[in-house]
Structure 1
Amino acid sequence: MKKYLSILLFFASLPFSFAQNWDWGGPLDPIQAKMKIRHYRLELELIPETQSILGSNTITFSSDEKLDTLRFQLIDEYEVSRVLMDGKEVVFFHQNDVLDILPVDCTCDQVQVFYGGKTPIAQNPPWTGGFTWEKDQLDNHWMGLSSQGEGAKIFMPALDHPSSEPSEGVDLIFTAPKPYFVASNGRLIQTEEKGAHVSYHWSTAYPINNYNINFTLGVFQEAKMEFESISGNRIPMHVWVLQENRAKAEELLEVLKISTETQEKYFGPFPFPKDKIAVVETPYLGMEHQTINAYGNNFQFVAMGEVNYDWLLHHELGHEWFGNKVSVGDWADMWIHEGLTAYGDWLFYWEHGGPEAYFAKVKSESRNIPHAKPVVSPPNSTEEQAYHPEIYTKGAMVIHSLRGVLGDELFFPAIKAFVMDDRFTYQNQVNTRDFTDFIQSFTGQDLSGFFDLYLYTTSLPKVKVSKKGKDGYVVSLQGIDFEMPVEVETSEGIQRVSVGKKGTEVKSSTPVVVDPRGWLMLEK
C-alpha cells in the first residue's frame, strides 16, 4: 500500500480538513452482519469527458434468515435511479452514504442497483483516494482509482466493511470510448466492440477485498510473458504502460518477473494462478489491487546485485501474499498486511544484495521508528484509526526481530507455512492472535512475552551492562519479565545468549556490544 516515507511529507502539506472523509471499518453494522456477499457483477460505462460513471452492480448474497432490509454503502454523490429484485422495482432509501433496500417477498438472492454520476476526485491519491482523471503526454485521457482509505462505496454499492469479501469473486464489465483500454482484476474473458465504444469483461473467482476491486483507463502499451511459478503453473504476466513510456515496458516486465521470483522463494507460489500477475501505470504513486497493481513510480529502478529493483513495484506485489491472500477482517490488525509486506521488501536486499545490504536497510529503517503507537490497534478500528507509519516500519521490525529470536532454520519455514495454511487464506481472514498462536505452535516456543511487548505496547527493553571481575560482564534487559536470545559481541566474537532482567554473564577481555547487528528493538 501507500509507502509510509511519503506520508510524513504528505501530512505536513495537508489542509486541516477535506470536504469529505469517507472512512470505513469499525464495528460491523448489525443489519449487514446478517448477510454474506457471494458475488458482485459490476457493469459500468466510464465517461472521461464528464469524469462520470453510469451502470449497475448486481449483488449476490446469502443469509440464514429472511431479511426485511438490505443495507449497502454508496456515497451520496451518485444518484440511484432504480433497484431491481426478481425483475421488479423495489423501494429504496439513499442518504448519508447508505443505501437501504426493502426486499420484495421472494426467495431472491440477488439485487441489482442502477446508479451513476460524477466521480469523487482524489485529493491526494492514494492517501486520500478517489478517481484521478488526467491526460497523458499524447493528450489521451488517463484515469486511476484508489480507495483503500475510503472503501468501495466511492465507486459502487457494496457491503463496505473489510470483513466482507465476495466469496465467489467478481465480474467486472467496463465500457469506454475507443481507443481506450480498461485494465482490471482477474482475467480478461471477453472484449466486445460496440460502435464507437468497446467493453472489457474481467472475471475472477477468488475472494477479493472491496478496495482491491479496481480499474484503470488509458491508451497503453502492453508487454507480456508466461511466468513459470514454483508451483508448476504457467501464469500470464502483463504490464501496461502509457504509450509515451512504451520503451520501458519490457524492462518493467523483467523487474516484475524478478520480484515475483523473489516473493515466491520466501512466501510460496503466487496466490492467484488462475488469474494473472500484472501492473498498470497509474496517475498516482501506487496501490495493491489484486492481480492488477497500480504502478506510478516512474521506472526508478535501482541496481541490486545483478538485478534491478523497484521498491514500489515490489512492495505492492508483496501484498498479493499479505493483504490479498492473507487478509484481515478488522483494520486493527492492518500491520499483518503492511508489516509482513514491508519485511518482504527487506528480503529483496537479503536475496540480491546480501547480508551487508540487508542489515544496512534494517538499520536505516529502524532508526526512525518513534514507538509512539502500538502496532496493533484497538478492536473494531477504522482504517483511519489503524493506519500510521509504524505498521510498516515497526511491523517489519517485529518480523525481523522474530527472525533473530528464532533463527533462519525455524523462521523461514514458519512464515511460509503460515501463508500456505488454508485456515488463514483467501476467504478465511485472520487477526493478530491467529498469527502469533500459529508461530508459537509451529516453532514449539513460548513467544508470548515477545509478541505482547512489541505488538501491543510502545515499551522497549533497556539494555544494562555491568562489569564483573577482570574479564566478565553481566548483560540484562530491564523492563521485561521474560528472556530473549541476544547476540553479544565479545573479544572472542559474537555469542548468542539468553538474556532477561536477571542478567547473564559473558566473558570478554574488551567491553561488550549488545545486539551489534540490530536484530532487536532495544533502548541502549
Structure 2
Amino acid sequence: MKLITKPCLLMLLLFVSFQLEAQEVQNWTWGGPKDPLQNQYKVKHYLLNLELLPNTKAIDGYVEVSFEKTGALDTLRLNLIERYTVLKVEMAGKNISFDHHGDTLDIFPVEDSGNKVKVFYRGKTPIATNPPWVGGFTWERDQKGNHWMGLSSQNEGAKIFMPCLDHPSSEPSEGVDLHFKVPYPYFVAANGNLISNDTKTGFNYFHWATDYPINNYNINFTMGRLHLEEKTYTSRGGREIPMKVYVLEENAAKAPMLLQILETSVRTQEKYFGEFPFPEDKIGLVETPYLGMEHQTINAYGNNYQFTRIGEVYYDWLLYHELGHEWWGNKVTVADWADFWIHEGICSYGDWLFYREHGGESAYHKHARDVARSIKNENPVAFPAQTTTDEAYHSEIYSKGAFILHSLRYILGDDVFFPMLKAFVEDKAYTYENLVGTKDFTDFVQRYSGKDLQGFFDLYLYTTEVPHVKIKKKGKRKYEIQLDNIDFSLPMEVETSKGVERLILGPEPVEVKSKRPVKVDPKGWYLVK
C-alpha cells in the first residue's frame, strides 16, 4: 500500500471538502418560461405529510396534489430535486408509473385515475449555505443543544422540499394542509391555523392548514423547542385575529417585547395598506436560525432582537419588512419574477413609511437620502417576461424600487398617492388568486390618478438611465433649466432666492429668476444627475 504523505493527504481532504461543498451549493432557480406540460393543469390544493429527521438531516413522507385538468393530460409533470428518492406514486389508490429525472418528476396517469396524485419520497435535504439568499434547510442547535431547523426557498422554489408545480404563476387556489411528525418534545410552527397536535410513542404530531392561496416558497415550517407568546389583535376593520410569536425557549423573556413590536408594526402597515390580509389564519412569526423571510402568516425572524427606537415606539427593521410582504408578495403576488420589484420595492417603501409615521417627515426624508446614496443604477428594476429568480434578484429591486414609489408620491401628491396604494392592494382584481405584473400596477396608477406617467415608468423601471438636470445661467439673475435626456416632463421642486416652487421640467428649457444659483430637487424626490 502506498503511503499518503501529509501534503498529499491535505490536498486530498481539501479536494473531498470542495466536492462536498460543491454538492451542497448546487444552484437551484425557478421561474422563467413555464413548461408547456404544466399548462395542462392547475393545482388546487397540496397536502404535505412529512417526518422531520434532525439526526440525519432528512425528510420522509408524501405530498398529495389535487389538480384541475385544463387540457390533455397524458403526462403530469411536477418538480422535485433529484437528491430525493421517489418511492412510489399513487392515483385512485393504484400505483402509477413515473420517471424522476433531474429535477423533473413525470407521472403517467391512466384513464379514470382522477384528479389527485400522491407522491411518496424521502432523502437527505439540501443544506442552505447562505440562507435566505442561498436557501435550503438550516439544521442548527440552540444554545441548550436542542435541534433547531429552518427552511428557506425563495430563490430555489418549493421543489427543494416537496413535489409540486414549481412556477410563480402556480398557487394552490384552495390552500395547503401540512402534517408533521417530529421527535418529542419538539414543536413545528407553520402556515395557517394549528388544527391539531398530539403526542404518541415519543413523537409529536402537528396539523396546520390554510384555505388561502399561497405561493410555493411561502409554504414553510420551523422545528425547535419553541415558546409561544400570543394575544388577540383587533384590526382596523374590527376583526379579531390571533397574533402569535414563537421563539426559542431560551428567549422566552424577550417574547413579550417582540409581540409588542409586532402589534405596532401591524397597526402601521394597516394604516397605509389596509386590513391584515389573512384574518382567518393568524398574524405570526417564528424565530429561525437564519435572518428572515416572508412566509405567509408565519414570517421567519432571525434578527436577534436588535430593536431600535423611532419616535415613541420600538422598531425592528427585519420584522417590519417581512411583515410588509403579507400585503406586497403574499396578498399581491406576481406571476413572473420579471416583476419581482413589486414584492420587494413596494414592501421596502412601506418600511420608509414607518419612519414617516413614527419619526415624522424629517426622518422619512433622511432615510430616503440614505437609500439614494446606495443606488448605483446598475440594473433595470423590471425585467423582460419569463425571468428566473437568479436573473431578477438584485439589491436595487429593493432600493430603487422603493425610490420610484417615493418619486411617485411627489408627482401625485399625498391626497392621491396614499389612497391609490391602498386601493390597489385592496382591489380583488389584483389580489390573492389574481396574480399581477408591472403593467397591472402602472396602468392602475395612471387610471386612478388620471395622469400619463408612462414615460416616468419606462425610464425608471426598464432602464438604468435617470433624468439629467441641466442648469444654464442666462444673464445676471436668470437661469434656464431642462432635463435634456428625456422626452417627457416631470414636476420638480426648484429653489431660488424667492423660495421653493414646483415647476414642470422637461426637454424644453424653463427660465427662472434668482439672485443666487438655483437648486433643482433640493429635497431629493428623484434619482437624477
Report SS of the residue matched to 2:326: coil
Amino acid at match of 1:319: H
SS class of match (1:124): coil
230, 244, 252: which one pairs with 2:250?
Answer: 244
Task: Give yes or no for contact 2:24–2:127 (8 Å, CA) kept in 1.
Answer: no
**Cα distance in structure 2, aligned partners of 1:497 and 1:307:** 37
Partner Cα separation in structure 2 for residue 437 and residue 269 of structure 1: 24
Give the letter aligned to residue 147 of structure 1.
Answer: S
Mapping of residues 271-290 of structure 1, within 5 Å:
271-290=277-296
Structure 2 residue ranges without an equivalent (≥5): 1-20
**Which SS does the other structure have where 2:36 is aligned?**
coil
- 2:411 pairs with 1:416: no
Q: Per-residue displacement from partner, 1:466-524 (whole Å, max 9, x unpaired)?
A: 2234433222111011110001112222111111011222232221111011001100x
Query: Where does residue 482 of structure 1 map in the other structure?
Result: 488
Aligned to 1:227: 233
Alignment of 1:55-204 (within 5 A): 55-106=61-112, 108-204=114-210
Q: Percent identity among equivalent residues?
A: 60
Whether 1:362 aligns to 2:368 is yes
Shift in Å, 1:231: 1.5
Structure 1 position 355, deviation (Å): 1.0
Q: What residue in structure 2 maps to residue 293 of structure 1?
A: 299
SS in 2 for 1:42: strand
SS of 1:367's partner is helix
Separation in 2 of the partners of 1:453 and 1:295? Answer: 36
Task: Name the structure 2 match of 1:268.
Answer: 274
Q: Considering only aligned residues, what root-mean-square deviation do their CA atoms show, in Å? A: 1.2
Tell me by how many angstroms 1:19 deviates. 4.3
Match of 2:320 among 310, 314, 321: 314
SS at match of 2:374: coil
Matched pairs, number? 509
Aligned to 2:14: none
Where 1:278 maps in the other structure, the secondary structure is strand
Residue in structure 1 matched with residue 342 of structure 2 by the alignment = 336
The answer for the alignment partner of 2:356 in structure 1 is 350
What displacement does 1:16 show? 9.5
Structure 2 CA distance, aligned partners of 1:17 and 1:401?
45
> Which residue of 43, 60, 69 maps to 1:54?
60
> Over residues 289-335 of structure 1, what are the superposed CA-to-partner deviations in whole Å (9 max), with x where a residue is unaligned?
00000000000000000001111000000000011000001100000
Question: TM-score, with normalisation over the residues of structure 2?
Answer: 0.95
* Residue in structure 2 matched with residue 42 of structure 1 by the alignment: 48
Query: Aligned partners of 2:482 and 2:305: how far apart in 1?
Result: 47
1:363-389 Cα shifts (integer Å, max 9, x gaps)? 011112111111011210100000011
Of stretches 293-302 and 48-57 in structure 1, the one that deviates more from structure 2 is 48-57
* Pairwise CA distance, 1:359: 0.7
> Who is 2:35 aligned against?
29
Q: Secondary structure at the match of 1:237?
A: strand
Question: Match of 1:332, SS?
Answer: helix
TM-superposition CA deviations, 1:91-117 (whole Å, max 9, x none): 011110111001121150100001111
CA distance in 1, matches of 2:113, 2:513: 77
Which residue identity does 1:272 align to in structure 2?
Answer: F
Cα deviation, residue 252, structure 1: 0.3
- Work out the CA distance in 2 between the residues paired with 1:19 and 1:192: 36
Shift of 1:192: 1.9
2-side partners of 1:266 and 1:517: how far apart? 23
Q: Which amino acid aligns with 1:235?
A: I
Measured against aligned partners, the alpha-carbon deviations of 1:149-175 in whole angstroms (never above 9, x if no partner) come to 110000000000011000000000111
Q: Tell me the amino acid that sits aligned with residue 381 of structure 1.
A: T
Partners in 2 of 1:200 and 1:194 — Cα distance?
11
1:445 to 440, 451, 465: 451
Q: 1:17 to 1:339 in 2, by over 3 A?
A: farther
Write out per-residue CA displacement over residues 223-244 of structure 1, whole angstroms, 9 at most, x where no aligned residue: 1111111121111001111111
Rg larger for: 2
Q: Which amino acid aligns with 1:471?
A: R
Segments of 5+ residues of structure 1 without an aligned counterpart are 1-14
CA distance in 2, matches of 1:112, 1:194: 25
Return the offset for 1:76.
Answer: 1.1
CA distance in 2, matches of 1:197, 1:235: 30
Confirm or deny that 1:217 pairs with 2:220. no
Q: In 1, Cα distance between the equivalents of 2:113 and 2:526?
A: 57
Give 1:25's aligned amino acid: G
CA distance in 1, matches of 2:121, 2:23: 28
Judge which range, 370-379 or 209-218, deviates more: 370-379
- C-alpha separation between the residues in 1 aligned to 2:457 and 2:340? 16
**What CA deviation, in whole Å up to 9, does each residue of 1:325-346 have, x standing for no partner?**
0000110000000000010011
Contact 2:24 2:126 in 1 (8 A): no
**Alpha carbons 2:99, 2:107 under 8 Å: kept:** yes
1:351 shift after superposition: 0.6
Match of 1:11 in 2: none
Secondary structure of 1:75's counterpart equals coil
